[in-house]
Amino acid sequence: MCKCKKKKNTVYDPYYQRNYVWDADKASYFIESILLGTEIPPLVFFNTGKQIEVIDGR
């Protein structure tokens, strides 16, 4: 993920991705989980050759 984050060609909202649905409490809980080292679901990326798309994990 760190390598993807540094690239300007990473697409976080491809046209087929659903709209953002988390409220502030859920987002805060997710960040807290990361900071506490709790296991989180994997993030899935797809490299199209021209850009990297976030498939799941938005």
The total number of residues shown for the chain amounts to: 58
Residue 24's pLDDT is 92
Residue 5's pLDDT is 54
Predicted confidence (pLDDT) per residue in 5-58, tens digit? 555 777 777 777 777 778 999 889 989 999 999 998 888 888 888 888 888 755
Residue 25's pLDDT is 94
- Residues contacting residue 53 through CB under 8 Å, at least 6 positions apart: 10, 11, 14, 45, 46
The label of the residue with tokens 């994997």 reads 42
Residue 48's pLDDT is 85
- Reported in sequence order, the residue ranges of the chain that DSSP labels E, i.e. its strands, are 10-11, 44-47, 52-56
∠ CA 15-8-25 to the nearest 5 degrees?
Answer: 60
pTM of the model: 0.53
